[in-house]
C-alpha cells in the first residue's frame, strides 16, 4: 500500500530527541509494549516529528498516531491546541488514538487491548455478512 507523503520539519528533530530522552511514565510503559514490533508485528516510532508537530508514537504502515495526554493537556487552551493539531494531522490521513497518562499507568492491559482492537478493525474490517453478528450469534444467546 502506497502512503501519502507526510510533511516533515527537520527543525523538530532535536526536540524529538529530547522528548525521547525524557518520556513520561506512561510513555515509557506503553513503549515497552510497542517497541520491537511487539504489537501485531507493526513498527512504531516514538516522539516522531510529523508536519509541524511531534506525536508520542507513530506507525507509518497504519498511518496511526498514539497520544498519551498527561496533566499538561487538562486546560481548555491545551485541549483546543490538541484538537487543532489532531485536525491538521488527520487532514494528512493520519488517524489517532488518545489515552490518558493515568489510564496507561494503571490499566496498560486495557490500553493494549484497545490498540489491538483498533488494528484488527483496520486490517480486517467485517464483511457485510458479518456486520452486526456477535460472538454469541447462533449459540442460543441472541
Q: Can you give the residue ranges of every domain in the chain?
A: 23-123
Q: Using only C-alpha atoms, what is the Rg of the chain?
A: 17
What are phi and psi for residue 51, nearest 5 degrees? 55, -125
Q: How many CA atoms lie within 13 A of 102 on its CB side?
A: 4
DSSP 50: E
CA distances from 46 to 70, 90, 113 (A): 16, 18, 19
Q: Please tell me the predicted confidence (pLDDT) of residue 137.
A: 47
pLDDT the model gives residue 72 = 64
Set of cell numbers at residue 72: 499538561
Joined grid coordinates for residue 4:
501519502
Predicted local confidence at residue 43, as pLDDT:
97
Q: Does domain 23-123 have CATH number 3.90.180.10?
A: no
Residue 125 gets the label, from left (phi > 0), alpha (psi -120 to 50) or beta, of beta
pLDDT score for 3: 66
Please give the pLDDT value at position 6: 84
Would you write out the chain's pLDDT as a tens digit for each of its 142 residues? 566 778 888 899 999 999 999 999 999 999 999 999 999 999 999 999 999 999 999 999 999 999 998 766 567 887 888 899 999 999 999 999 999 999 999 999 999 999 999 999 998 887 766 555 544 444 444 3
Amino acid at each position: 500500500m502506497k502512503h501519502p507523503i507526510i510533511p516533515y520539519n527537520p527543525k523538530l528533530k532535536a526536540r524529538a530527541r529530547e522528548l525521547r530522552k525524557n518520556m513520561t511514565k506512561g510513555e515509557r510503559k506503553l513503549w515497552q509494549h510497542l517497541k520491537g514490533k511487539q504489537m501485531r508485528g507493526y513498527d512504531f516510532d516514538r516522539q516522531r516529528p510529523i508536519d509541524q508537530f511531534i506525536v508520542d508514537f507513530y506507525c507509518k504502515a497504519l498511518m496511526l498516531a498514539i497520544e498519551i495526554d498527561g496533566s499538561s493537556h487538562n486546560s481548555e487552551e491545551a485541549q483546543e491546541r490538541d484538537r487543532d493539531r489532531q485536525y491538521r494531522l488527520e487532514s494528512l490521513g493520519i488517524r489517532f488514538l488518545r489515552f490518558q497518562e493515568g489510564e496507561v499507568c494503571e490499566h496498560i492491559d486495557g490500553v493494549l487491548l484497545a490498540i489491538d482492537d483498533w488494528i484488527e478493525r483496520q486490517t480486517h474490517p467485517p464483511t457485510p455478512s458479518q456486520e452486526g453478528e456477535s460472538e454469541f450469534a447462533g449459540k442460543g444467546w441472541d
